[in-house]
Chain A
Amino acid sequence: MTPSIIELQEVSFTYPGDIVALNTFSATFARGRRTAVLGRNGSGKTTLFSLLNGLQRPQKGAVLFGGEPIRYDRQGLLKLRQSVGMVFQDPDSQLFSACIYEDISFGPFNIGLPEAEVRTRVETALQQMRLTGLENRPTHSLSFGQKKRACIAGVLAMHPQVLVLDEPFAGLDPVMTAEFMTILDELHQGGTSLIIATHDLDLAYAWADDVIILQDGRLLAQGEALKLLVQPLVHAELGAAPIVAELSSALTLTGTGVYDKWYQPRTGAELVRAVLNQNRQENEQ
């Protein structure tokens, strides 16, 4: 088991007006892993994320970062927010300046870095998010996907250990989604722990190492994506199962074994490859 980077212990969070968003919720996010947080609308994903970098403070329970309880004083929060980068669902709530260069420089400047270092980081983040050349365009003329990338650049420039993204694929077309996945994979390879909220089971199945499933502010299940997402209880709560998993088991029932001891297809393309492989092996025999 990889060590945890963020841990929630019996956390409860209630909004004014007695709206319970999280109820004695416990979960662990592993260091260096890709975790997908799943749950229906209103199940508490966004609220959970706002606890992860100290935007909200739970009324009960504790949030631990790197094994230590979060300190909610100025210094503690600044350190936490540098380590846990948060990308909001709506880019307009994050981009405060009409100039993305200014926007991206905001985070690193707040950490107290010197100007030269801030400029280098802004340039790097622009490149990393494929935004070079767009920094002279006003924010309101950028496409949704470009704004979204600008938001991530603004967080990456702070060099966070954990990147938390709230429904990063909502509103993106398939091409942009694929591009986005590539960028996330690069970050993952670089050692950043990634946490995303999503409704998309197929995407979680294809991408995530671990999943955490919420149900009405409680933890329904937590575990490895490939094992957990095929469980009937997940199917019952989320109203669907990953299509690749369903197809795979159907194929297995009809005698085309696509599961291997160590291999389980996670995407449509992988499944097709596995089936073709299987056929070839049978023909050779």
Chain B
Amino acid sequence: MRIDTYAYSNRWRQVHPGEKGLFALFGLTASLLSKSPLLPFGIAAVMAATTILGAGIPWREYLRLALFPTLFLLWSCLALAVSFSGGEFYLVNIPALKATISLSRQGIGQAELALARSLGATLSLLFLALTTPMTEITGLLRSLGTPKLLIELMTIAYRQIFVFLEIAGQIRAAQEARLGYASVRIAMKSLAGLTGNILLRSLSRARQNHHGLLARGYDSELLFLSPRHTWSLRNLIAAVTIGTTLNVLALVIRP
């Protein structure tokens, strides 16, 4: 839950979520609209720089968090570049399958663009995730008119994740204190017990939570107000200017 910790403690915590959201959204659309891989790579760099230098997320942590999605993207884009029907760059021949594996020029171009776009988009979202707490993102989505049911689910699910983790941690600690993970066999048994126990506790907790809401007048709709944030004209202008420029560039630059 490292992302969560940074979301609450970064330098831009008090910045209006709308401003950060706008910036991320512009980065996202510009990345996806771009027809040349150059711009999205640039956006990825801008997002990384803003997150590290602006919001003050330690660069090591940032790399760790960004590495996993990047590797994942690399692998998936590699698949785009590979061709079985004869490309320009010959790789291997597998006689048994009567297939040659090669890379095609067109495939490489596609893969490069796809990689750039997804990387730009991913780092834009990572910027938002690392600078803005979940409840504020939900609040933002809510003010943008996201369906109520979705917002309610996000609010409750997010809170319950932590309650759930705590319960699981408690049960696990109790088992461990009694050497429940001493051997693989015992560990399997303990794990089964843990799972069953969590299920039972979750059920009784769900009932308690429902009571908790009813007791304060819950009536089929989760009504609440989010804390108010003040817009900063300077940030807003910066976000809009950079964002619009990126999007215009995305539309203008030809491959």
Cβ 8 A contact of B211, one of A50, A103, A111, A136: A50
Cβ of A249 < 8 Å from any Cβ of B? no
Residues in B with CB closer than 8 Å to A135 are 227
Given A90-B208, A92-B163, are A106 and B133 neighbors across the interface (CB < 8 Å)?
Answer: no
A115–B227 alpha-carbon span in the complex (Å)? 12
Contact A88 B208 (CB under 8 A): yes
| Contact code string A103-134 (vs B, CB < 8 Å = 1, else 0) | 10111011100010011001000000000000
Cβ contact within 8 Å between A136 and B227: yes
Cβ of B158 within 8 Å of any chain A Cβ, yes or no, is: yes
**With an 8 A cutoff between CB atoms, is B197 at the interface?**
no
**Chain B residues near A136 (CB-CB < 8 A):** 8, 13, 227
- B211/A110 in contact, CB under 8 A: no
Q: How far is the CA of A122 from the CA of B225 in the complex (A)?
A: 10
Looking across the interface, which residue of chain B has its beta carbon closest to that of A164? Answer: B215
Per-position binary interface string of chain B over residues 134-160, scored 1 when its CB falls under 8 Å from any chain A CB and 0 otherwise: 110001000000000000000110110
A96 and B4 contacting across the interface, CB-CB below 8 Å: no
- State in angstroms the CA–CA spacing of A139 and B212 once bound together: 16
Q: In this assembly, does B105 line the interface, its C-beta being within 8 Å of a C-beta of chain A?
A: no
Closest CB-CB distance, A146 to chain B, in whole Å?
15
- Report the separation of the CA atoms of residues A139 and B162 in the bound assembly, to the nearest whole angstrom: 9
Tell me if B186 is interfacial: C-beta within 8 Å of chain A: no
A81-B216, A98-B162, A138-B8 as given contacts; A106 in contact with B211, CB under 8 Å = no
- CB of B217 within 8 A of CB of A88, answer no
Query: Are A97 and B217 also in contact (CB < 8 A) when A88-B208, A90-B208, A103-B224 are?
Result: no
The answer to whether A86 touches B215 (Cβ under 8 A) is yes
Number of cross-chain contacts by CB at 8 Å: 114
A158 within 8 A of B: yes
Q: Are B211 and A55 in contact (CB under 8 A)?
A: yes
| Contact status of A98 and B158, CB under 8 A, knowing A81-B215, A115-B225, A119-B228 | yes
**A154 to B217 Cα, complex, angstroms:** 12
Is residue B205 contacting chain A, with contact meaning CB distance below 8 A? yes
Cα distance, A97 to B224, chains bound together (Å): 10
A215 at the interface (CB under 8 A from B): no
**What does the 1/0 interface line of A67-101 toward B look like (CB < 8 Å)?**
00000001001100110011010101111111101
Say whether A53 faces chain B, with CB atoms less than 8 Å apart. yes
- B91 CB → nearest A CB, Å: 50
Shortest Cβ distance from A142 into chain B, in angstroms? 11
| A102 close to B (CB within 8 Å) | yes
Q: How far is the CB of A154 from chain B (nearest CB, A)?
A: 7
- Cα distance A245–B222 when bound, in Å? 48
Q: A106 contacts which of B159, B163, B216 (Cβ < 8 Å)?
A: B216
Question: Are B225 and A110 in contact (CB-based, < 8 A)?
Answer: no
CA distance A38 to B4 in the complex (A): 42
Assembly CA distance A119 to B224 (angstroms): 10
Nearest A residue to B211 by beta-carbon distance? Answer: A55
Shortest distance in angstroms between A96's beta carbon and chain B's nearest beta carbon?
A: 6
B96 contacts partner chain A, Cβ-Cβ < 8 Å = no
Residue B242 at the A interface, CB < 8 A? Answer: no
Cβ of A106 and Cβ of B222 under 8 Å apart?
Answer: yes
CB < 8 Å neighbour of B217 from A78, A102, A119, A137? A78
Residues of A near B214 (CB, < 8 A) are 55, 81
- Chain B 225-248 against A: per-residue CB contact (8 Å), 1 yes, 0 no? 111100000000000000000000
- Report the separation of the CA atoms of residues A95 and B159 in the bound assembly, to the nearest whole angstrom: 8
Cβ B159 vs Cβ A110 within 8 A:
no
Interface residues in B202-218 (C-beta closer than 8 Å to A)? 205, 208-209, 211-218
List, in ascending order, chain B residues with CB within 8 A of A93's CB. 205, 208-209, 211-212
Other contacts beyond A106-B216, A111-B217: 15, CB < 8 A: A50-B211, A74-B219, A77-B217, A81-B214, A85-B215, A85-B216, A92-B166, A93-B209, A96-B222, A102-B139, A102-B224, A106-B218, A106-B223, A107-B216, A138-B133
A interface residues (Cβ-Cβ under 8 A, vs B): 50, 53, 55, 74, 77-78, 81-82, 85-86, 88, 90, 92-99, 101-103, 105-107, 109-111, 115, 118-119, 122, 135-141, 154-155, 158
CB-based closest 7 A-B pairs: A110-B217, A93-B208, A140-B162, A107-B216, A99-B135, A105-B225, A94-B212
Q: Which residues of B contact A (CB under 8 A)?
A: 4, 8, 13, 133-135, 139, 155-156, 158-159, 162-163, 166, 205, 208-209, 211-219, 222-228
Instruction: Show 20 A/B contacts (Cβ-Cβ < 8 Å), sorted by A.
Output: A74-B219, A78-B219, A82-B217, A88-B208, A88-B215, A93-B209, A93-B211, A94-B215, A97-B135, A98-B133, A98-B155, A98-B162, A102-B139, A110-B218, A110-B219, A122-B225, A135-B227, A138-B135, A140-B163, A141-B8
